[in-house]
A and B are shown apart, each in its own frame.
Chain A
Amino acid sequence: MNSKMKQLLTALAISSAVITAPVSVQAADKPAASDIEEGKKLAFSRSKGNCLACHMAGDGAQPGNIGPALIAMKMRYPDKQKLYNKVWGTDDSTKVPNSMMPEFGKSGIITDDEIRKIVDYIYTL
């Protein structure tokens, strides 16, 4: 392997480490209404969050019941960052054996920003 390519690969390794390791997205205290609206769309969309496949959430039609209903999120997650971490799938978030809950950030299913918006939305439930 030539050294240029090696450099490139190391650079890639480092940058992907940055993407997967720390969860830097700040859970904003007062999210914009447009973010909440977008978060709802993302949460319901089959190709994005598809949370309704498994969770009851807001007025989403025909929800599944594989996971717990997403209600009273503020009460259950006073620390919004913890909620974000659960959806993202950080190593320090709660792990349930054989859980169906996908690790949306860790597995690269959707972007960090999309997760932030989804969390902004479910935090209103």
Chain B
Amino acid sequence: MKKTLLSALALGVSMVATSPAAFAIDPEKDRQQLVDFFKAKSPKIAFDDYKDGGYIYSADKRAQWEAVEEFPPYLDSVDAGEEIYQQDQAVYEKCFGDDPSNVRGHYPYFDEKTQEVVTLEWAINLCREEAGLKPLKYKKGDMAKLSAFFAFQARGQKVNVKIDSEGAKQAYEAGREMYIKPRGQLGLSCAKCHTYNSGRYARADLLSPSLGHTTHFPVFRAKWQELGTLHRRYGGCHQNMRANPFKAQSKEYRNLEFYQAYSSNNLEINGPGYRQ
């Protein structure tokens, strides 16, 4: 079971690499295959738990993490995010409606008009710019706080990313290719760390599974001592791979988020999260 899934994923690599157009992927089958892969890899871990990242693999680390989550260091930032929201509430209500708990769950989505993946952070800046407000920086600070506020309001809802057009499928495939194809001097890919080796240690870091990667962002990292967005993390991982990172909210990273978020469908939204 495990073997065939592994080789199916591996096959995906070479097919995508040689002929992206000729190899059509069915996103829903692909997602199911990923879920099955993790189930075969760790039969005792329940699907719903994948929202908790690497902590599902270690009772010790999980206990430490749960202790921190009792008095989470990100709560001040969520409050700050609410203030940022209230400052320009009329602007945001015009774009997102008047229920802030009904926002996070709609992103990312594929916009048919522009043929682009729209992430929450991207939408926030589109909204601000249309109202003549200054766009916020994407990796941390006010943007991360505002995003944390929306995530906090949406806790408990399920990830529900839809793919129902050719364009959306192509965005998914582009994100998937970015995830699977080796990049950078060390010959590593996201999949090598977060699919094949999740649950193992890279030095002292417990590698998280890709399934559920997007549920809890933005994240307050002990190492950062502040909130950071998903795309900040993507850039960090690309740097560790000795690959050139893309810009936060570049088309590449929006597609990658679209792929990862779709893969995480049906998991609970539990952002913001705390991570080591």
Interface check A65, CB cutoff 8 A: yes
> Could you tell me if B192 and A100 are in contact, using CB atoms closer than 8 angstroms?
yes
> Taking the complex as formed, is A58 at the interface, i.e. its CB lies under 8 A from any CB of chain B?
no
Closest approach, in angstroms, between the C-beta of A49 and any C-beta of chain B? 11
Is B224 in the interface zone, CB < 8 Å from A? no
Residue numbers in B under 8 Å from A64 (CB-CB): 200-205
> How does the 8 Å CB contact mask read for A94-107 relative to B, with 1 for contact and 0 for none?
00011010110001
A54 touches B202 (CB 8 A): yes
CB distance from B240 to the nearest CB of A (A): 9
Q: Contacts of A100 on B, CB cut-off 8 Å?
A: 188, 192-193, 196-197
Tell whether B165 is near chain A: CB-to-CB under 8 Å.
Answer: no
Residues of chain B within 8 A (CB-CB) of A62 are 203-204
B203 pairs with A107, CB closer than 8 A: no
CA distance A109 to B207 in the complex (A): 23
What's the Cα separation between A62 and B204 when bound, in Å? 6
Is B185 in the interface zone, CB < 8 Å from A? yes
On chain A, the residues within 8 Å of B191 by CB distance are: 98
A65 touches B200 (CB 8 A): yes
Does chain A have a CB within 8 A of B97? no
| Cβ contacts under 8 Å, A63 to chain B | 201, 203
Whole-angstrom distance between the Cβ of A7 and the nearest chain B Cβ? 29
For B200, give its contact among A52, A66, A103, A107 (CB under 8 Å): A66
Q: Which applies to chain B's interface (DSSP): helix, strand, loop or mixed?
A: mixed
| In the complex, A108 has a CB within 8 A of chain B | yes
In the complex, residue of chain A having the shortest beta-carbon distance to the beta carbon of B13: A98
Q: A98: which of B196, B204, B205 is its contact (CB, 8 Å)? A: B196
B187: interface (CB < 8 Å): yes
Main SS of the interface on chain A? loop
**With A and B bound together, what is the CA distance between A62 and B197 in angstroms?**
17
Number of interface residues of B (CB under 8 A): 19
A37 to B204, CA, bound (A): 24
- A53-B203, A97-B10, A98-B10 known; A66-B197 Cβ under 8 A: yes
A92 to B203, alpha carbons, bound, how many Å? 29
Minimum CB–CB distance for B37 against chain A, Å: 13
CB 8 Å contact bits of B169-191 with A (1 = contact, 0 = none) = 00000000000000001111001
* Residues of A contacting B68 in the complex (Cβ-Cβ under 8 angstroms): none
Answer yes or no: B6 CB below 8 A from chain A CBs: yes
B-side contacts of A107, CB under 8 Å: 185-187
Asked if A98 meets B6 with Cβ closer than 8 Å, knowing A64-B201, A66-B201, the reply is yes
Contact of B201 with A65 in the complex, beta carbons under 8 Å:
yes
A51-84 CB mask vs B (1 if < 8 Å, else 0) is: 0111000000011111000000000000000000
- Report A's interface with B, CB cutoff 8 A: 52-54, 62-66, 97-98, 100, 102-103, 107-109
Q: Which 3 A-B pairs have the closest CB atoms?
A: A64-B201, A62-B204, A102-B186
Q: What are 13 A-B interface contacts by the 8 Å CB criterion?
A: A52-B203, A53-B202, A54-B202, A64-B200, A65-B200, A66-B197, A66-B201, A97-B7, A97-B10, A100-B193, A107-B186, A109-B185, A109-B186
B residues bordering A, Cβ < 8 Å?
Answer: 6-7, 10, 185-188, 191-193, 196-197, 200-205, 207
A-B contacts besides A64-B204, A102-B188, 16 pairs, CB < 8 Å: A53-B203, A62-B204, A63-B203, A64-B203, A64-B205, A65-B201, A97-B7, A97-B10, A98-B6, A98-B192, A98-B196, A100-B192, A102-B185, A102-B186, A107-B186, A109-B185
